[in-house]
């Protein structure tokens, strides 16, 4: 079954989300240490048919890449080297952390759990992926 992976890349942690087999819904999957993300994705791809990566890309309000984009550009090179035949899409990640916090509050998550940055990262990845899934043609 085909899966699309959503990625919220950060220097320390990477949030990972996955689509359902029909490519309609995104679900938070995991938070992985940045140094281990390529190995994690390779292991995941051994068990699932990953057909695309959607990577959150930091853009300022003026539409230009933010300072953090440099780190993501380096990650993108590693990702494309590890998965040369898998397409990579970039998705504007503005406000995903704010939306992730709102989703946790609306979902009834306890304040103690909302303070865990790992939760924010993987929910942000799901928001990035869901935005992509909602806009693409069926």
89-132 confidence digits (pLDDT tens): 999 876 566 555 565 555 665 666 555 566 678 888 999 999 99
pLDDT digits (tens, 9 = 90+) for 59-76: 777 777 777 789 999 999
pLDDT of residue 68: 78
The percent of residues above 90 in pLDDT, for the chain, comes to 59
Q: What is the mean pLDDT of residues 6-22?
A: 95
Mean pLDDT of the chain: 85
Instruction: Report how far apart, in Å, the C-alpha atoms of 101 and of each of 23, 33, 53, 127 are.
Output: 24, 21, 23, 11
Residue 115: per-residue pLDDT: 55
List, in sequence order, every residue forming a beta bridge with 34; answer none if it has no partner.
Answer: none
Mean pLDDT of 38-47: 97
Calculate mean pLDDT across residues 31-59.
Answer: 95
Q: Are strands 2-9 and 49-57 parallel, antiparallel or unpaired?
A: parallel
Q: How far apart are CA 15 and CA 18, in angstroms?
A: 10
Q: Residue 20 pLDDT > 80, yes or no?
A: yes
CATH code, 119: 3.30.420.140
**What's the structural domain count of the chain?**
1
CA distances from 118 to 62, 78, 107, 127 (A): 29, 22, 16, 14
Domain containing 23 equals: 2-135
pTM score, whole prediction: 0.85
- Supply the pLDDT for residue 58: 84
Helix axes 69-82, 37-47, angle to 10 degrees: 40
Taking residue 97's Cβ as centre, other Cβ atoms within 10 Å add up to 17
Query: What is the predicted pLDDT for the residue at 138?
Result: 66
Q: What is the pLDDT of residue 103?
A: 56
């Amino acid at each position: 079954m085909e899966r699309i992976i959503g990625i919220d890349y950060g220097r320390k942690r990477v949030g990972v989300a996955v689509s359902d087999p029909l490519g309609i819904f995104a679900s938070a999957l995991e938070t992985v240490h940045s140094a281990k993300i390529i190995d994690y994705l390779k292991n995941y791809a051994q068990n699932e048919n990953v057909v695309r990566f959607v990577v959150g890309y930091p853009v300022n309000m003026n539409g230009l890449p933010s300072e953090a984009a440099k780190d993501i550009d380096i990650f993108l090179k590693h990702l494309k080297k590890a998965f040369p035949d898998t397409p990579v899409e970039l998705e504007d990640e503005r406000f995903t952390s704010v939306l992730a916090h709102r989703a946790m509050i609306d979902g009834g998550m306890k304040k103690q759990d909302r303070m865990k940055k790992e939760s924010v990262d993987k929910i942000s990845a799901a928001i990035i992926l869901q935005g992509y899934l909602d806009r693409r043609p069926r």
